[in-house]
Structures are given as structure tokens and as C-alpha cells.
Structure 1
Amino acid sequence: MNCKISVITINFNNASGLQKTIESVINQSYTDFEYIVIDGGSGDGSKEVIEDYRNHFTYTVSEKDNGIYNAMNKGIKVAKGDFVIFMNSGDLFYNENILENIAKTISVDDEIIYGDVLLRNEDTNMERVQIHPEKLNFSYFYKQTICQQSCIIKRSLFDAIFLYNEDFKIASDWEFFIYAIYIHKVKIKKIDLIVAIYDTRGVSGSSNYKQIFKKEREDTLNKYFPFFVEDYKQLLAYSSNRSQELLQIEKSVFWRKVVSIIFRIILVFIPKKK
């Protein structure tokens, strides 16, 4: 299927990351795409970077916005492609052939296509591949999501469903995916590709925002899936570190024997009832 893709990059005060992202996008072997850059009125040299690459952009603006999702919505509103993909400042396509390889997989019925993502933190030298499942069960979204940078989304879905929730700071893309997949019943497809290198040093990768993310997910479940809220809380409890340790003990013959011996020793010192 021949289709036009809109690549959208949002940026705020990340000039070095922005330049890396732009280079990653404009060096793609696939050429049937438009490139949109939305800057939040940066004061760190990002505007100069944008000016240096201006000829590569279909649309760009640098002005104050109301947060990440407001900037993303600006990009969506001006996008003319059949599909959109977000590659925000600091994020990279996995290699120069990614858009070409994705385009080859697109069929007329596809609405969300997703692959895998390489998570990278250059400050801590962390790097690992996050593999998304072939089947996106509802329970998967209780603690996880599909990385936005690894997804290509049909542009018309944002008209048919909604734009990103600008009241959220972290979880608006999570809200969009869970609503689109389980209420709107969109056509989804997994592809066997690492699509992007995601810079975990961004806002959503910060540990300071975990509680915000949890709260926004709970708000989404209460709004659209109220009958699943208790299941969500129970699953979080079962997936705590202590619960995971107990599950590991249960799976290990050796540690089950160790725990059994410890309990027997403890029972020796517990007075028996008459």
C-alpha cells in the first residue's frame, strides 16, 4: 500500500537531542514522508538548530505551549499523512531503513502498527530492548504500554476517537491506546522490527513521575473501565517486589525446600495448644 507518513518531533530545550533526532529522520531511505517539528519556545539553541535544517521540514513552529501533549496535538492537527509517528527530541529511528520497512507492511485495514523499542540512557549506560507482545491483552496495559515511538498510527483515528488528553502529563498516549484498542476496536498489527531508540532521560522516563503516571492511569480506568479498577489494584499488589520474590521461591525447588526447613524450625519454638 502506498501511503504518506507524517513524522512529528516535539522539543523543548534539548538542542543536542533535537539535532540527533533530525539527522535520524532526514537520513531515512524512505522518502514519501513529511516532517513536522514543534518546539515549545526553547531558549537553549534549539531554534538555531531548527533554522539550520529548515529546508527539511514541511512545517515547523517555535512558540510557548501547554505541555507535551499540547505540542503533540499541534503536530497532529497540521499533519497531512495517512499515518503519523512521533520521534521526539533525543529519540532515533533504529536504522535508516525503518520507515521503508514499515511502509512495506502497511495494508489498507491497518490502523495501529507497532514494533519493539531499544531503551537507552546515556547517563547510566543502560541499554535494553523492550519487546512488545504479539497479542495485546487488556491486562498488559495494567502496568505496561506500547512505546509511542515504536508505533505508527492512522492519522484519521485522532479525528474518529480524540486527540491526546492535554490535562495529563505522562499517560495520555496510554489513554489513547487503551481506548482505541479495547473500546474503539481498532485494527492493530505487530511487526518484527525494532523501530526506535527511545531516550529514557525524558519526562516520562523519570522516576519522579511514576506516581503521576499511576494516578493518570487510574483516572483513565475509572472513566472508561470502572469495572476493572479493583482488578487493577489487585494486579499491582501481586506484582510488587515482595510478591515477585514469593513467586520466584514457588518456582524454585531448592528455595521451596529452604523455606520449608525454616518454617519447621520456627514451629519447634512455637508453643503447641493443649
Structure 2
Amino acid sequence: MGPLLTIITITYNAGRLLQNTLESVEKAASKAPGLVFEHLIVDGASADHTLEIAESFTGRLPLRIRSEPDKGLYDAMNKGLQQASGSYVWFLNAGDEVGDDQVFAKLGPALRSDADIYYSDAVFFTSDGTILGLRSQVTPHELPSEISWRDMAMGMKICHQAFIVKRSLAPVFETDNLSADLDWEIVAMKNAGSIRFLDFALCRYLLGGVSTQKHRKSLTDRWRVLQRHFGFFTTVLNHIRMTIRGGAFLLRKGKYW
């Protein structure tokens, strides 16, 4: 019998980030010895000490490491899906962390309820360790406790690192789309028969990923994804709503995060 869960971590020259990610998994695993999982490191042929750090955990975690050139983040994520053997898959990238050391102890029993998708809120934090708060509180994206793919019409309500899906339902990622994670979640939710909210934060999300660094292309790609799933006129209307919502949030909070 294979593992219940596959955690997939994508790395490329991520030596300064990976240690914290793997230590957070190790701490959570120590509190839930009954949770059978595997952890895949999919590396893009790093030239720094990423692989040395990963290999130092091979005796401490059920870790498998693959390192070879890839065509970018989403190509690497597709490789992770191809290698995964767990019933569920969870992407937790270098720099991101398990929410706290009790997450696995709570997650194991939850996964055995056999929902197709599990999701939660995410804790945002910065590279200096500053905790900004829950994503649903520090961004305009409120997170409902019941959700369907139609609720994604105004953008990504669920942080990708707080989204666990049955491997059999997981689609492939578009490799040239910086909003491929949004599309991936929508398609997975369309495939799902049951979606369950978890009342604890699965992850701590490190701000500053690829979509943040290439913000304009990310927005253009998001438009393409939303238009594909919801139609042109609905997407135009929802972008007007998003602009109003974002302005109101900024006036109320004074900042996004």
C-alpha cells in the first residue's frame, strides 16, 4: 500500500530557503508518526548547495530527490505529479513551511474522510520572518468554508500551498502561464465531487514568488484563465468588481500586506 500523501517541493538554487521548509515538515511528521507520506524534491539542476541540504534530510524524512534541467516552475510541478505515488498531492515549495507542528496530526485523520479536495487558509510571512496574518485577512480574498470552482471567478481564493487534491483528479499545469496554479485549482475543483474546508492553516506562505516578480504577465495570464472558464463579458465585469474591491480594501486597511 502506497503513501496517503505526497508532498512536492520545487527547487532551483533554493539553498537559503529549503532548510526551513524541510525542518517544518520534519517537526510536523514527528507529531504524527501514523501519517504515511513521501516527500519529493524536484530540482532544476541547482548550482548552489540546494542538493546538499536536501540530501542531509534523506535519513530524516521519506525523501526522494530528482535533479535535472527543466523548463520552469510549472514544468517541474508536472514532473512532481508524474513521480508522485500518494493518494493525495500537496505542493509546498522552497521557503514555504507547514503551518505548525500539529498540522500532520490533524491532517491524517482528515484525509481518511476521503474528500476529493482539502483546503485551508494560509499564513503569510516575509523573508525576515515577520508574520503578516492569514491570507483571508491581509488580502481582499475572503475564504468561505464551502466553495466550488464558480467561486474563483474573481481570482484565486485558495492559496496554492493550502490546497490538497486527490492525485487521480489533479490536472497537468500549463507551463507558459504564470497563473497556471489558478487554472489548476479551477480544473481540479471541476473534477471534484467533494471539497472539504480545514479549520487550521496548512501552510505558512513566503511572499515573493515568480508571479509577484513578474506581476504584469501574471495579471495578463490570470485574465486568460478566467475568460476561459467564465467567459469574456463575465470576466470584464468581474475585473471591474475586483478593482473596486481592491480599492475599498486598501482604503479600509491602508495596505494589502
Q: Normalised by the shorter chain, which TM-score bucket?
A: 0.7 to 0.9
DSSP 3-state at the match of 2:164: strand
Q: Does 1:195 align with 2:198?
A: no
Residue pairs, 1:223-262, within 5 angstroms: 223-226=228-231, 229-240=232-243, 244=247
- In the alignment, structure 1 segments of 5+ residues that lack a partner are 250-274
> Are positions 1:167 and 2:170 aligned together?
no
Give yes or no for the alignment of 1:178 onto 2:186.
yes
Give the secondary structure class of the aligned counterpart of 2:52.
helix
3-state secondary structure, aligned to 1:80: coil
TM-score, normalization by structure 2: 0.82
Does the 8 A contact of 2:147 with 2:195 survive in 1?
A: no
Which of these two proteins has the greater Rg computed from alpha carbons?
1
Determine if the alignment matches structure 1 residue 155 to structure 2 residue 167.
yes
Deviation sequence 1:155-200 (CA, Å, 0-9, x none): 1112xxx2111121x211210111232x434321111011110001
- In the other structure, the counterpart of 1:30 is 32
Alignment partner, residue 139 of structure 2: none
Q: Is the 8 A contact 1:237 1:243 kept in 2?
A: no
Aligned residue for 1:193, secondary structure, equals coil
* Partner in structure 2 of residue 98 of structure 1: 103
Give me the whole-angstrom Cα distance separating, in 1, the residues matched to 2:160 and 2:209: 13
Q: Is the 8 A contact 1:180 1:186 kept in 2?
A: no
Structure 2: how far apart are the matches of 1:186 and 1:5? 19
Deviation at 1:21, TM superposition (A): 0.6
- Which SS does the other structure have where 2:154 is aligned? helix
Partners of 1:124 and 1:26 in 2: CA distance:
19
Q: Does residue 1:69 correspond to 2:80, yes or no?
A: no
Task: Sort the Cα spacing of 1:185 and 1:243 in 2 relative to 1 into closer, same or farther, 3 A.
Answer: closer
1:94-173 mapped onto 2 (5 Å cutoff): 94-123=99-128, 125=130, 127-131=132-136, 132-136=143-147, 138-158=150-170, 162-168=171-177, 170-173=178-181
CA contact (8 A) 2:38 2:86 kept: yes
What amino acid is aligned across from residue 157 of structure 2 in structure 1? T
Work out the CA distance in 2 between the residues paired with 1:242 and 1:60: 43
**Shift of the alpha carbon at 1:3?**
6.5
TM-score normalized with structure 1 length: 0.78
**Conserved? CA contact 1:3–1:103, under 8 Å:** no
Q: Percent identity?
A: 27
Q: Is 1:216 aligned to 2:215, yes or no?
A: no
Partner of 1:53: 57
Q: Structure 2: state its 5+ residue gaps.
A: 137-142, 253-257
Are the aligned partners of 2:45 and 2:67 in contact in 1 as well (CA < 8 Å)? Answer: yes
- The Cα offsets for residues 91-123 of structure 1, whole Å up to 9 and x where unpaired, read as 001111212201212245411100110011135
* 1:64 alignment partner, SS class: coil
Choose 106-115 or 122-131, whichever is displaced more: 122-131
Residue-by-residue CA offset, 1:118-144 (whole Å, 9 max, x unaligned): 011135946121232213362444233
1:87 is matched with: 92
For residues 106 and 238 of structure 1, the distance between their equivalents in structure 2, rounded to whole angstroms, comes to: 36
